[in-house]
């Protein structure tokens, strides 16, 4: 028999009884993983898996060994389960004879057997005319199940996102669901990760909106670093720490993350400093594109706010949250953090140590706080 696997409708896999053999194939590897997990719960009770289940990979096994493992009588469970990953290797010309051999053996499997074959998606998976080979596909239709795991079409993704959120007793705005689909694409595993994150961030709120998606699921890692730096300058400590964690998820190398992050943060602090200066001069965001010559002379020659005139309104809003003393202290802490990351400072001298990831957390937590609670305020009075 054949089945198109649908998330949440797992019972269709064993509705007519657990089959002697399954082949999970198609473009969605995540769905295969979930389907196999559900099938194992049905066919291989946890308490008997040490005795009645065997896992293999086709890289170092063949049809004869799979069959020999499957025909053994189960010890305590109803089924003897053999899980075989790497079934896509049977598509290779050199191994098709082995695939055909297993097709011939399928009919001889006892009713107590359950062989679960998993074929990982290939580059041209959606264009394949067979799951593995014509002979094996035909044998599985006759003696087991061909289970297709397909990526949803883009139009179906919004419905899937909405249904997933509903299972968490929340709602997501249609525009937010569409934006999440655009940013993440059809990577179902990442989509689910982003949805878990959005639901956790929403906490007691029942609705997930567009701003939530823009904050937590940006299009690229570069968008994440801009958002992370903006959160610090907006004194949104929780968001700043959350987005910092996202940067580490995109790039597992702490020193690389720290280098980029500190450079961006230093630049943003200097831009906010300039915005603060312009506010005190009585200028507005609309004036930034054509500043008087005498004002330009007082601004730094590099990283001038003029080059960021399109963000002037945001920078002015940030500047109103900062005093010069706050900005000076933030730059000092940033310098000490960078020094520690390079092995030039110890915890006895500063709050920073030898771990770059922890140092960034400490930096964000210390400088993004509200001015009234900043520990340095007394120093500059």
pTM of structure: 0.51
Residue 136 has pLDDT above 50, yes or no: yes
Residue 97 has pLDDT above 90, yes or no: yes
Identify the residue with better confidence: 349 or 57.
57
Task: Please state the rounded mean pLDDT for residues 21-46.
Answer: 89
Tens digit of pLDDT for each residue in 190-204? 788 788 888 888 888
> What are the C-alpha distances in Å from 184 to residues 154, 189, 255?
11, 10, 26
Mean pLDDT taken over the chain: 86
Give percent above pLDDT 70 in the chain.
92
Among residues 239, 271, 255, which one has the least CA distance to residue 368? Answer: 239
Whether residue 368 contacts residue 232, with contact meaning beta carbons closer than 8 Å, is answered with yes
Residue ranges per structural domain of the chain? 2-148, 154-217, 247-380
Task: Please state the rounded mean pLDDT for residues 6-32.
Answer: 88
Pairing of strands 113-118, 171-172: unpaired
Measured in whole angstroms, the distance separating CA 120 from the mean position of its chain's CA atoms is 20
Whether residue 24 contacts residue 35, with contact meaning beta carbons closer than 8 Å, is answered with yes
Residue 377 has pLDDT above 60, yes or no: no
What local confidence, expressed as pLDDT, does residue 346 receive? 52
> What are the C-alpha distances in Å from 165 to residues 158, 199, 247, 289?
11, 8, 24, 44
Residues 6 or more apart whose Cβ sits within 8 Å of residue 76: 47, 48, 51, 52
What local confidence, expressed as pLDDT, does residue 348 receive? 55
What local confidence, expressed as pLDDT, does residue 380 receive? 42
What local confidence, expressed as pLDDT, does residue 301 receive? 82
Tens digit of pLDDT for each residue in 162-191? 888 998 889 999 888 888 887 776 667 678
Structure tokens at 150: 């397909």
Task: Please state the rounded mean pLDDT for residues 137-153.
Answer: 89
What's the first-to-final CA gap in the chain, in angstroms?
A: 79
Whether residue 30 contacts residue 118, with contact meaning beta carbons closer than 8 Å, is answered with no
CA dihedral (10, 15, 18, 20) in degrees, to 10, reads -110
What is the dihedral sign for C-alpha 312, 314, 320, 324? negative
What local confidence, expressed as pLDDT, does residue 71 receive? 94
2-148: CATH topology is Rossmann fold (3.40.50)
Q: In which element (H, E) is residue 136 found?
A: helix 134-143
Residue 347 has pLDDT above 80, yes or no: no
* Cα distance between residue 366 and residue 346, in whole Å: 17
Give percent above pLDDT 90 in the chain.
46
CATH of span 247-380: 1.20.272
- When mean pLDDT is compared across 53-67, 198-212, 323-337, the lowest value belongs to 198-212
SS3 sequence, 33-82?
HHHHHHHHHHHCCHHHHHHHEEEEEHHHCCHHHHHHHHCCCCCCCCCEEE
**DSSP type of residue 279:** H
Task: Please state the rounded mean pLDDT for residues 354-363.
Answer: 90
Task: Please state the rounded mean pLDDT for residues 54-72.
Answer: 93
Residues 6 or more apart whose Cβ sits within 8 Å of residue 214: 179, 227
Tens digit of pLDDT for each residue in 301-339? 888 899 888 889 999 999 999 999 999 999 999 999 999
Residue 255 has pLDDT above 50, yes or no: yes
What local confidence, expressed as pLDDT, does residue 221 receive? 59
What local confidence, expressed as pLDDT, does residue 257 receive? 86
CATH of span 154-217: 1.10.8.60
What local confidence, expressed as pLDDT, does residue 238 receive? 82
What local confidence, expressed as pLDDT, does residue 61 receive? 92
Task: Please state the rounded mean pLDDT for residues 121-148.
Answer: 90
């Amino acid at each position: 028999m054949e089945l198109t696997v649908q998330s949440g409708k797992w019972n269709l896999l064993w509705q007519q009884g657990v089959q002697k053999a399954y082949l999970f194939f198609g473009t969605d590897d995540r769905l295969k993983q979930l389907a196999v997990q559900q099938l194992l719960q049905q066919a291989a009770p946890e308490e008997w898996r040490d005795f009645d289940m065997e896992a293999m990979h086709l890289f170092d096994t063949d049809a004869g060994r799979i069959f020999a493992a499957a025909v053994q009588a189960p010890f305590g469970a109803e089924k003897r389960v053999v899980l075989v990953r790497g079934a896509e290797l049977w598509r290779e010309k050199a191994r098709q004879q082995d695939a055909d051999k297993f097709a011939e053996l399928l009919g001889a499997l006892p009713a107590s057997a359950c062989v679960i074959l998993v074929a990982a998606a290939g580059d041209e998976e959606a264009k394949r005319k067979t799951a593995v080979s014509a002979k094996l596909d035909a044998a599985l239709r006759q003696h087991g199940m061909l289970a297709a795991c397909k990526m949803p079409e883009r139009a179906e993704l919004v419905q899937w996102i909405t249904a997933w959120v509903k299972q968490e007793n929340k709602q997501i705005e249609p525009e937010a669901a569409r934006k999440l689909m655009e940013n993440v694409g059809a990577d179902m595993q990442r989509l689910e990760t982003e949805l878990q994150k959005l639901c956790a961030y929403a906490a007691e709120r029942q609705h997930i909106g567009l701003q939530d998606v823009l904050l937590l699921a940006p299009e690229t890692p570069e968008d994440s670093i801009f958002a992370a730096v903006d959160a610090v300058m907006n004194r949104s400590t929780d968001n700043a720490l959350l987005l910092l964690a996202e940067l580490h998820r995109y790039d597992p190398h702490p020193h690389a993350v720290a280098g980029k992050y500190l450079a961006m943060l230093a630049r943003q602090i200097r831009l906010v400093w300039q915005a603060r200066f312009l506010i005190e001069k009585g200028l507005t965001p609309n004036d930034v594109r054509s500043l008087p010559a005498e004002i330009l002379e007082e601004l730094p020659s590099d990283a001038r706010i003029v080059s960021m005139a399109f963000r002037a309104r945001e920078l002015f809003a940030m500047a109103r949250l900062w005093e010069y003393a706050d900005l000076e202290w933030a730059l000092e802490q940033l310098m000490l953090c960078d020094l520690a990351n390079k092995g030039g400072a110890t915890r006895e001298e500063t709050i920073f140590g030898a771990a770059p990831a922890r140092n960034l957390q400490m930096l964000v937590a210390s400088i993004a706080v509200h001015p009234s609670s900043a520990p340095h305020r007394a120093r500059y009075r």
